[in-house]
Amino acid sequence: MPRQSLRGISGNSNYTDGAIDRFELTSHWHSHIIDRAAGGQYLKIIIDDLNIHSFIIKIILCQANSRYKNESQH
């Protein structure tokens, strides 16, 4: 069986290995979500606009809040 060459790595791609439902948020999207929440947007609006599952957004906001307070997860 012939070997296949590896695909190029792109820092602009949010999809892991082209697999469906394996979307990875970049640091840009993390800050975008945090900025929208800090600006007073409701969580429901952020979820609907960005089409990202609610628990992911809640985790991002919780992590941002703990980092802001200088709390460590470890």
Taking CA atoms, 4 is separated from 1, 7, 49, 56, 64, in Å, by 9, 9, 38, 34, 41
Contact 25, 56 (CB under 8 A): yes
Cβ neighbours of 46 (radius 10 Å):
19
pLDDT digits 0-9 by tens, 5-50: 666 555 544 555 555 555 678 888 889 999 999 999 999 999 999 8
Strands (E), 1-74: none
pLDDT, position 48: 92
Sign of CA dihedral 54, 59, 60, 66: positive
Report pTM.
0.61
Round to whole Å and give the CA distance between 38 and 19. 32
